[in-house]
Chain A
Amino acid sequence: MPLIENGRIGEDAWSFIPDGEPVPNDRPVIISFERWQADRASFDGRNAKLGVRLKSGTLAGAIAPDLDRFALVALEFPKFRDGRGFSTARELRERYGYTGEIRAVGHVIPDQYQFLVRTGFTSVEAPEGTNPESWANALSEITVAFQPSLDETEPLSLLRRKLGLAG
């Protein structure tokens, strides 16, 4: 499936290993949170990068104690209307200080891309056949924001139009 990064189709170094299938040790893989819970000891001593995939009902707190084990956290959107992932990403970043990759997987549409970026996602696994142009446009269509994004820390950034940042 096409990987969207910085508004463009990018190379995906990661692969998701479904539960039950053997986990290769020589390349970056994503496993399910359930597998991690059931079988975490089997990943001790692993050198290649590990990622974990959370269902939308699994909130940031569940993975928080183990975040240093993962170079990537994938958040599932079962339906694009299920917006829990936006809060989960933000909690991972703001509350638990996670600095690795956060990836949106599942049903996500380009119209949500700017929100994803602003809440801390770094990449999106877009559905097959998606129009890359729509993802590229999605980041530049709206140039005014009224709330702080994740990377902003200035106290006055709340209603950022005042700062003229968007002007």
Chain B
Amino acid sequence: MNHIAPGARAGIYHYDAIDRRFVGERVEQFRKQVDRRLAGELTEEEFKPIRLMNGLYLQLHAYMLRIAVPYGVMSAVQLRKLAEIGRTYDKGYGHFTTRQNLQYNWIKLEDTPAILNALADVDMHALQTSGNCVRNVTTDQFVGAAKDEVVDGRVYAEILRQWTTLHPEFTYLPRKFKIAISGAASDRAAVRVHDVGLLARRNEAGEAGFTFYVGGGLGRSPFIGKLVREWVAEEDFVAYLEAILRVYNQYGRRDNIYKARIKILVHELGLEKFKAEVEEEFARLRGPKYRLDPAIVAEIRTHFAPPPFEDLPETSDALARAKAENPAFANWVAVNVAEHKAPGYAIATISLKPPGGIPGDATCDQMDLIADLAERYSFGELRVSHVQNIVLAHVKQDELFALWQQLDAAGLGTANAGLIGDIIACPGLDYCALANARSIPLAQALSARFADPVRQRTIGELGIKISGCINACGHHHVGAIGILGVDKKGTEFYQITVGGDPTLTTAIGDILGPSLTEEETVDAIEAIVEVYLAHRTEGERFLDTLARVGHGPFKERIYAAD
């Protein structure tokens, strides 16, 4: 293996010899498992979960390989390697997912050992990106940079990454298990729609602790995570989670895959009974063995030390001048740039949602460019957001204009973060074996329809999320406007929901009316927007207006002709 150091200054977890040895052993183990499958020693049924736990899916037309990007953070060196793999083994692009990972949609089974080796060269792998195990832990894409951050979620996400890696007890759970952590005042990680959602907080003494929500999730039965414990001290973090997983592993349903997630267990057992079971385990587990030693936390924290920020004034004159001279840049700053905790720095979102584009797709050339820009402007580090964009978290305000010019020249300067064009879409029937309808063409049609940046800003904060089937990978339940693809006697139809919200004011959207064809859907979304604009009062977001006026005016406009 030709190991390449993934970048000293990047705020990623830096592997040591033991970590590398582990990943190497896993690659070798998988190679042997493939051999045993080919020799007939493992049946297809037995091999399937093994390949899934190595990130390999069989899709409609080809294998899909999902690469783990722990909590969405990686270095420029790692992204460049992903570009190289996409060029060599896929069709010259990769797809960033709502799980903050990257997937290749056109992989040959026989190439996978070579790909896993290439990944291991830069301390990456595809472990636990699928299968009924604890999946890649996700967090706020602005982690370590956001002005409203209270606790750095990377530290605890990394602890969980390690603790859940090949966990002997929890690798054959009833179903997959997703954990999200947010450590900021605003929840950008959608914690309450995860199996376990964690809010990292501080008590009056300044100590870190966690609020636990359990049993959230989308899919065919959407649930909002329920508050299970207001405060779990840092030292009990692992013990409490271990208790939750042990209760789930024992009592979670295994008779029906659609009822196997922890949300159904919490629902069927009832919150109080579930809590009591967890508390009983927790009381017993709590002790030296599962205590999270502050020394471990401190050691992990060193990996995420702040990069060497320069001492800069709070605001940048150069930025102000560039904005004044270039309205398109000013618009991009207003929409895609967020406040940084360090004076003179900013957080830049690179939208992977150009009008008419495929949400989350990037060409390998674009990935190379983003890697270069991350090195030039953001300490060699970048993040994947759960809304399928890329974030450069530590950009000097002075350099935002230069950054934007290079992004814009490469088709990456779209100013729509959080706006109507910033659509989440699952791969849908174009790729996925489970889908009922295509998601991508609809996303493309919608982003093209709302391409005008001025119009997008006028409309304001409005998330559209599209799923091609009831499994809800496109998070349609929590879209301010959600779209669900359904199959009606072989024809693709789309059901619109409104009022969903993935933030701490979590809400599942309500169905607006009968499903529509693809063309009707695009028109209906436009009609919804027009009704909103006609009804909104000063400063109201779409969700606010909807809450005030109800479904009536929207329904009337779309379905009046029926």
Give A contacts to B, CB under 8 Å. Answer: 59, 80-84, 86-88, 90-91, 94-95, 109, 111-112, 114-116, 118-119, 131, 134, 137, 141-149, 152-159, 161-162, 164, 166-167
Contact = CB atoms under 8 A, between A and B. Distances in A.
B454 interface: no
A149 B17 CA distance: 21
Nearest to B25: A142
Nearest to B245: A87
B250 A87 contact: yes
A112 B159 contact: no
B325 interface: no
B168 A119 contact: yes
A158 B18 contact: no
Interface stretch (B215-223, B287-295, B477-485): B287-295
Of B42, B162, B172, B249, chain A has the most CB atoms within 10 Å of the CB of B172
B19 interface: yes
Given A83-B172, A87-B169, A161-B162, 7 more contacts: A82-B254, A84-B254, A109-B42, A146-B164, A154-B288, A162-B299, A167-B17
Interface residues of B, number: 48
B30 to A, nearest CB: 10
Interface in B6-38: 16-19, 21-22, 25-26, 28-29, 32-33, 36
B41 interface: yes
Contact of A144 (B25, B33, B49): B25
B296 A134 contact: no
B132 interface: yes
A38 B169 CA distance: 31
A84 to B, nearest CB: 6
Nearest to B50: A111
A123 to B, nearest CB: 16
B337 interface: no
Contacts of A90: 169, 246
Interface string B155-185: 0000100111111111111100000000000
A90 B242 CA distance: 12
Contact of A112 (B21, B32, B33, B172): B172
A159 B11 CA distance: 20
A84 B49 contact: no
B435 to A, nearest CB: 24
Contacts of B173: 83
A142 B166 contact: yes
Contact of B290 (A81, A91, A114, A158): A158
B18 A167 contact: yes
B489 interface: no
Contacts of A80: 46, 172
A146 B166 contact: yes
9 contacts: A83-B174, A84-B250, A90-B246, A111-B33, A146-B167, A156-B295, A166-B18, A166-B22, A167-B18
B158 to A, nearest CB: 10
Interface of B: 16-19, 21-22, 25-26, 28-29, 32-33, 36, 41-42, 46, 49-50, 132, 159, 162-174, 238, 246, 249-250, 254, 284, 288-293, 295-296, 299
A95 B25 CA distance: 33
Contacts of B16: 161
Given A131-B41, A134-B41, A153 B168 contact: no
Contacts of A152: 289
Contacts of B291: 155, 158
Contacts of A145: 166, 168
Contacts of A147: 163, 167-168
Contact of B21 (A82, A95, A143): A143
A95 to B, nearest CB: 6
Contacts of B46: 80, 109, 111
A156 B289 contact: no
A80 B172 CA distance: 8
A81 B288 contact: no
Contact of A155 (B29, B163, B167, B293): B293
A87 B166 CA distance: 15
A87 B246 contact: yes
